Amino acid sequence: MKLYYYKSALGNFGDDLNAWIWDRLLPNFFDNDDNTRFSGIGTIINTEMPDANKWIVFGSGIGYGHPPKGFGGNKWDIVSVRGPLSAQILGLGKEKYITDGAALLNTLSEFTPCAENERSGTIFIPHHNALDKGPWERGCQRANVEFVNPRGEATEIIQKIRRSRLVLADAMHAAIIADAMRVPWVPMVTSSQINTFKWLDWTQTISCPYMPIVVGSNFLQNVLHNRKVNLYGEKNFHPGEDVDEALKTFKKQQNLTDSVEGHKYINKVKSLYYRLPNKLFCLYESQVSKNRGERAIEYVTSRLLEATRNGGFLSEQNVFDENLDRLLNGINAVKNRYSK
């Protein structure tokens, strides 16, 4: 059985933990035999999933595009998906969603939640694609918040989360892991690429609202990034959307990418965007960098300070325990069906 998950060339702790968590939970299960594949943690249910004689899906989600052809057929053993939005888009019953599989970190001895007197400080973890989109580190320094690079080593980042009093989470898995470590978390938004659909998919499983604080602003790098995302039809952050609206938006984006006209539009916009002279952007940024840069840092600092005054969210213990029990039952089901 071969493990399948997203691998960022630069690293991303929320994906990278797949490399070892499943070996701990399902020892001696995984090798390079790609006749059977196991879909783990992440938003990875899409058309890029390779063909296999058998697919096992455990806690994965959908968040972009379409599922692979034949999804849910005889080749597919869908133990669970991440949440109710994924289940609805994929045509699955309510019994097929539990929560994100990263909650299982709670069962590993080295990640047992810390006692309250062993926790200290507030940390901010941006999305791995947002590192160069704003002055996050400078803002953190001024707000007395520890900046954590999401491209760092996964176990070290998880330990930082575990020992914190509050986690400011732009990266969704920072919030998911914080909840698993029983540490309060505050959802943050650095750009319009942060995916409302994905967040709602998960927060619905833990009976928590999705009420993010926008920390990204109109500083140049973020403006350019947001404009590009919006033009491509890939804007994923939709303030104030509820579950029904998020599902409608997701289906609209699917329809855009399905149509010939939609493909032509996206390709044309991408071509135009990448032909724009980057030197012009750099020149403009250098001319306004002093004033704009300082304003950006001040804005980020103020939003981080606002977030630190927020008590944060944390799932009720009985809700978390019920989800964890169902995930562990799923692990046992996989063991019973596929033990060598």
CA atoms of 37 and 45, how far apart (whole Å): 13
Residue spans of the chain under pLDDT 70? 217-240, 256-292
pTM of the shown model: 0.86
Residue 10 exposure: Cα atoms within 13 Å on the Cβ side: 8
Res 192: pLDDT: 79
CA atoms of 183 and 160, how far apart (whole Å): 11
Give the number of other CB atoms < 10 A from CB of residue 248: 11
Res 133: pLDDT: 86
DSSP three-state, residue 58: strand
User: Which tens digits make up the pLDDT trace of 167-207?
Assistant: 999 999 999 999 999 999 999 999 878 889 999 999 999 99
Res 269: pLDDT: 41
- Domain range list for the chain: 2-106+319-338, 114-315
